[in-house]
A and B are shown apart, each in its own frame.
Chain A
Amino acid sequence: EVQLVQSGAELKKPGESLKISCNGSGYTFPYFWIAWVRQVPGKGLEWMGMIYPGDSGTTYSPSFQGQVTISVDKSINTAYLQWRSLKASDTAMYYCARHLKSDAAHDYWGQGTLVTVSS
């Protein structure tokens, strides 16, 4: 069974750093892209970027370029989304999702990680 399991909810202060994770199982992890999607409470879905675990190649949405870092450790089937300095506006639910090709739909999604940034 294909599963994407994300790390738990986080409560952080502005200026702090954070790295959340997405662990894939039930399929050949290096062969599928992993994307990250943001959802601000009460708002729609925003595509942030994607990574190919096979070669760690990444593509970011212009809206998120320079704001976050997407990385992967294929030895443990895990992708990451990282912030160096969080802002209150980063408060959101973050989903990871896999896709077979860079131009393919997201067929499996993680359960989401809620990140709350508040002083």
Chain B
Amino acid sequence: DIQMTQSPSSLSASVGERVTITCRASQGISNYLAWYQQRPGKAPKLLIYEASTLQSGVPSRFGGRRSGTDFTLTISSLQPEDVATYYCQKYDSAPLTFGGGTKVEI
């Protein structure tokens, strides 16, 4: 099965700072990559699909890119409401594996 390796596992940044999270697939998955945000005590929420397409209603400060089997989620200007754990997920074929998560703090 394809493994998804996310880094870092946690980070702390200031309000307004640019934040980047990386997810690496162990094999090619084309653009079949999603990013989710999970705020404390809440269900996950879809942010980005197809590696770079913003889900409706998601603020434009969130962005996604792909370079081969490496994917990045960028928050251009960190806001207090962005405190959460972020997960990548590959969905090209089952199992639809998640990365280990990145906890973002301020």
Contact = CB atoms under 8 A, between A and B. Distances in A.
A23 to B, nearest CB: 15
Given A99-B91, A103-B32, A103-B91, A46 B44 contact: no
Contacts of B98: 37, 44-47
Contacts of A109: 43-45
Interface size class of B (residues with CB under 8 A): 20 to 34
Interface size class of A (residues with CB under 8 A): 20 to 34
B101 interface: yes
Contacts of A111: 43
Contact of B94 (A45, A61, A106, A107): A61
Interface string A59-103: 111110000000000000000000000000000000101010011
B89 A105 contact: yes
Interface in B47-106: 49-50, 55, 85, 87, 89, 91-101
Interface of A: 35, 37, 44-47, 49-50, 59-63, 95, 97, 99, 102-107, 109-112
Given A104-B91, A105-B91, 12 more contacts: A45-B36, A45-B87, A47-B89, A49-B95, A59-B94, A61-B94, A95-B43, A97-B44, A103-B91, A103-B92, A105-B46, A106-B89
